[in-house]
């Protein structure tokens, strides 16, 4: 997917760039410089690391050519109907003007309807501001979208405001958690960046063990790709682990947390810890001390996501 396309309206310009377009990385950098943030899965680095589906980048510019908003459309191959695809826009947190929003939504819908291989188009709104989220939802509904019957969302989300110093943040957490963080050195434990691809099997095992404790199923994650991404783009992806200093085996890694910079907020995408207590620490304590460093680099403004779907008389577009 390497095509580029530009559509004009009276006061905005819509630019669509394929993943393989050589200008995409430069476009992303220009977006950052103009204060337009992108979630990690919308970035070229995500795909260069071999994570996620193919995508297109849609950029909205105003009459002065200044970029005002952007989103990525991920193209997932259909397992049910080979040769076809499901398009998905993930983690859309937009507070933009009506004309910018309308131009972007119209462009996405028109693009999907112009490709006979597209079976469904899904746009996920991800915003803790209820008014902004509902405003975007109404705009999508006006274009034929319908709320998904089973949205991909969280039952509960823990949000931490990081617009304060590390010291203030640390002082605000529970005294027991602070004690656990301070005590890791006494137990022969240390927090380190996970940068060795040979740690991939251990990460998978810790995640599987963690999910099994609550009856869940671990996601299939290419941990080597995650480590590669974190090594090359530490400002976007951070993978940290809690290790036992005196153990040189794979089992030295007791817990981990993978944090991602999602533009307007940061979040822990996956975390895991062993149930086996080491040096007097329980699995809950291990998770606390491993997750703590992630709060130092990115701001957490996480909210529930809404999935919506669209349909048309001639061909369904939706989830």
Residue 185, pLDDT score? 72
- Whether 114 and 150 map to the same domain: the answer is yes
Ranges of the chain whose pLDDT falls below 50: 1-2, 6, 8, 277-280, 282-290, 292-319
- Of the candidates 202, 204, 236, 238, the one whose C-alpha atom is nearest the C-alpha of residue 222 is 204
The helix/strand/coil state of 279 is coil
Residue 5, pLDDT score? 52
- Whether 274 and 312 map to the same domain: the answer is no
Residue 11, pLDDT score? 78
Residue 20, pLDDT score? 65
- Whether 184 and 231 map to the same domain: the answer is yes
Distance (Å, whole) CA 178 – CA 271: 19
Q: What is the CATH number of the domain that holds 18?
A: 3.40.630.30
Distance (Å, whole) CA 147 – CA 34: 32
- Whether 124 and 233 map to the same domain: the answer is no
- Whether 67 and 118 map to the same domain: the answer is yes
- Whether 35 and 53 map to the same domain: the answer is yes
- Structurally, the chain folds into a number of domains equal to 2
The helix/strand/coil state of 22 is coil
Residue 303, pLDDT score? 29
- Whether 176 and 141 map to the same domain: the answer is no
- Whether 292 and 309 map to the same domain: the answer is no
- Of the candidates 138, 144, 105, the one whose C-alpha atom is nearest the C-alpha of residue 306 is 138
- Whether 309 and 277 map to the same domain: the answer is no
- Whether 97 and 214 map to the same domain: the answer is no
Distance (Å, whole) CA 28 – CA 44: 8
Q: Encode pLDDT of 26-70 as tens digits.
A: 898 899 899 998 889 888 888 888 887 888 999 999 888 899 999
- Whether 114 and 229 map to the same domain: the answer is no
Residue 10, pLDDT score? 55
Residue 7, pLDDT score? 53
What pTM does this model have? 0.77
Range of the domain at 46: 4-154+304-317
Residue 213, pLDDT score? 85
Q: Which two tokens stand for residue 44?
A: 């070229």
Residue 268, pLDDT score? 85
Q: Which two tokens stand for residue 123?
A: 């746009």
- Whether 194 and 239 map to the same domain: the answer is yes
Left (φ > 0), alpha (ψ -120 to 50) or beta: where does 52 sit? left
């Amino acid at each position: 997917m390497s095509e580029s396309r530009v559509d004009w309206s009276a006061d905005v310009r819509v630019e669509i760039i394929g993943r393989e377009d050589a200008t995409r990385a430069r476009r992303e950098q220009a977006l950052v410089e103009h204060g337009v943030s992108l979630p990690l899965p919308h970035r070229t680095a995500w795909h260069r690391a071999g994570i996620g589906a193919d995508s297109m980048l849609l950029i909205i510019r105003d009459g002065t050519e200044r970029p005002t908003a952007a989103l990525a459309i991920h193209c997932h191959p259909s397992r049910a109907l080979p040769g076809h695809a499901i398009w998905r826009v993930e983690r859309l947190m937009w507070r933009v003007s009506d004309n910018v929003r309308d131009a972007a939504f119209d462009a996405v819908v028109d693009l999907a309807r112009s490709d006979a291989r597209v079976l469904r188009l899904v746009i996920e709104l991800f915003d803790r501001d209820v008014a902004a989220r509902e405003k975007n939802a109404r705009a999508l509904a006006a274009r034929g979208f319908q709320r998904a019957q089973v949205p991909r969302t969280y039952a509960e989300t823990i949000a931490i405001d990081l617009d304060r110093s590390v010291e203030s943040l640390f002082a605000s957490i529970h005294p027991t958690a602070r004690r656990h963080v301070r005590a890791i050195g006494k137990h022969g434990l240390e927090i380190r960046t996970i940068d060795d691809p040979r740690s991939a099997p251990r990460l998978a095992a810790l995640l599987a063990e963690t999910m099994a404790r609550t009856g869940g199923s671990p996601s299939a994650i290419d941990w080597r790709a995650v480590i590669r991404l974190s090594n090359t783009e530490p400002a976007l992806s951070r993978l940290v682990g809690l290790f036992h200093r005196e153990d040189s085996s794979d089992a030295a890694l007791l817990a981990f947390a993978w944090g991602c910079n999602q533009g307007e907020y940061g979040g822990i995408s996956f975390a895991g810890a062993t149930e086996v207590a080491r040096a007097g620490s329980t699995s809950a304590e291990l998770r606390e001390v491993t997750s703590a460093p992630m709060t130092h680099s990115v701001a957490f403004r996480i909210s529930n996501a809404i999935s919506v779907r669209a349909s048309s008389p001639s061909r369904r577009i939706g989830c």
